Amino acid sequence: MEMAGKRRNLFQEVMTMLVALAADGRLVTLRSHEQARALAGQAFYCPACRGPLRIKNGPQLIAHFAHLDHACAASSEPESETHLAGKWYLAHYGEALGFTVTLEQYYPAIQQRADVVWEEGGRSRVLEFQCSGISPARLLARTQGYQSLGLEVIWIAGPQYHASWPGGKQARFLRWSEAAGFHLWQLDPARSQLARLELTAAAVVATVYQGRQPQVTRRAYAEPLTTRAKAVQQALVHRDAKVLSLQALAGRQGLNLGGVPWAVHQQLRHLPGLDTAEWLIRSAWLLQFQGGPIEKAAEAAFWRSYSSVKAPQLAPGQLQAAVRQQWLQLLTAGGYLAPTPQGWHWLRQPRWYRTVDEKLQALGQAGLR
Ligand SMILES: [Zn+2]
């Protein structure tokens, strides 16, 4: 909070930009301090709201235009050095790749100003570099705005959203493609690093695009199963509301969530964006379905009860489907479940333990899978 306050003071919360309308109607892009000095004294206007702008050409920030007296609704965020630098980075990178690049393209029909547009062969791709906070709902609304014009948009997370292990805060940037599966983009202009993080079940695979030679690094999820089992006990001790409500459900079946089957912790899909932790969903699934044969309709309804509003760029149900597929794969490959025409039936039941200690002792013994 304190950092955010300082930043606000430093950059003043006015909308600034790199492209402006000159008095004769031409669009002018500010490219350098020298050019900014040469243009000093001329009148410029915002291409979106037509409000008056002035040139800011101090030693600290990249040369830019700033609204004189008010905020402008067309942009997704107030300007900062990082955002200005990121737009230039994406513009230059797009040009190097052979795209026709436009900075700050304004679309009057939807009253949105795109940070950067890459165009090739009539196909336009909007890049939004997001440095300040944006809610999943706002991100979705702006995405739908571009989609209503037939434009693809790629949101690129700014430094405040970077994380080695993407979680709920990063889920708003989560997208899916045939080629890369679940992934997200991030950019750090200060280090000239544009990266795509692919979220596979086993690892975060980062491809860093720096010049012509992408560097691929793979970070596997290495958290021991024992740590995950102990975390369940911790959540019970800390009286986490969702955990306690599931513990009550388990108690009605004579079971203790602290001794939830090991399968609940194994081979997690590790995707952020659902409103409930993956192990909790799996535990609830067991409590609902372990009593007998599993019918397709009831099983499908189970997954619809989990929300993915934190991941607004994914198709409805897509996140749930991926987490579900991983879980059913584990149960069938592990010899617990077998498919039937109506759904599934149990071959053997995953074992619950009376306590977390009993569960930890069983680790390493035969039959644990
Ligand atoms: Zn404006």
Ligand 1 center from residue 297 Cα (angstroms): 51
CB-based contacts of 50, cutoff 8 Å, min separation 6: 21
User: CB of 294 within 8 A of CB of 308?
Assistant: no
Ligand 1 center from residue 20 Cα (angstroms): 9
Q: How much is the pLDDT for 210?
A: 80
pLDDT, tens digit, for every residue of 61-116?
Answer: 888 888 887 667 666 566 678 898 999 999 999 999 999 999 999 999 999 999 99
Enumerate residue ranges in the chain where pLDDT < 70.
1-16, 70-71, 73-79, 211-212, 364-369
Ligand 1 center from residue 254 Cα (angstroms): 63
Domains of the chain, each with CATH number or no CATH? 1-73 (no CATH), 74-222 (3.40.1350), 225-362 (no CATH)
Q: How much is the pLDDT for 67?
A: 84
CA 258 to chain centre: 31
Ligand 1 center from residue 21 Cα (angstroms): 11
Ligand 1 center from residue 100 Cα (angstroms): 24
Ligand 1 center from residue 15 Cα (angstroms): 7
Backbone angles phi, psi at 274, to 5 degrees: -85, 160
Ligand 1 center from residue 17 Cα (angstroms): 9
pLDDT, tens digit, for every residue of 145-156?
Answer: 999 999 999 999
Ligand 1 center from residue 51 Cα (angstroms): 6
Q: How much is the pLDDT for 207?
A: 96
CB-based contacts of 315, cutoff 8 Å, min separation 6: 176
Ligand 1 center from residue 93 Cα (angstroms): 26
Ligand 1 center from residue 139 Cα (angstroms): 20
Ligand 1 center from residue 19 Cα (angstroms): 11
| Alpha-carbon separation of residue 112 from 139, 146, 156, 249 (angstroms) | 12, 8, 17, 48
Ligand 1 center from residue 108 Cα (angstroms): 12
The candidate with the shortest Cα–Cα distance to 102, out of 125, 77, 129, is 125
CB-based contacts of 270, cutoff 8 Å, min separation 6: 199, 201, 221, 278
Map tokens 């950019």 to a residue. Answer: 187
Ligand 1 center from residue 186 Cα (angstroms): 27
CB-based contacts of 305, cutoff 8 Å, min separation 6: none
Strand partners, 131: none
Residues, Cβ < 5 Å to ion ligand 1: 46, 48-49, 51, 72
Q: How many residues does the chain have?
A: 369
Q: How much is the pLDDT for 120?
A: 95
Ligand 1 center from residue 160 Cα (angstroms): 25
CA 135 to chain centre: 11
Ligand 1 center from residue 356 Cα (angstroms): 59
Ligand 1 center from residue 64 Cα (angstroms): 13
Q: How much is the pLDDT for 8?
A: 35
The candidate with the shortest Cα–Cα distance to 86, out of 160, 147, 146, is 160
Backbone angles phi, psi at 132, to 5 degrees: -90, 175
User: What letter would DSSP give residue 292?
Assistant: S
Ligand 1 center from residue 115 Cα (angstroms): 14
Q: How much is the pLDDT for 77?
A: 61
Ligand 1 center from residue 111 Cα (angstroms): 10
Return the percent helix, strand and coil in the chain, to nearest 5. 35, 25, 40
In the chain, where does DSSP find H-type helix? 2-11, 33-39, 81-96, 136-148, 225-237, 241-252, 278-289, 296-304, 318-333, 356-362
d(CA 233, CA 252) in angstroms, rounded, equals 18
User: CB of 196 within 8 A of CB of 174?
Assistant: no
d(CA 360, CA 362) in angstroms, rounded, equals 5
Ligand 1 center from residue 152 Cα (angstroms): 24
CA 136 to chain centre: 9
Ligand 1 center from residue 48 Cα (angstroms): 5
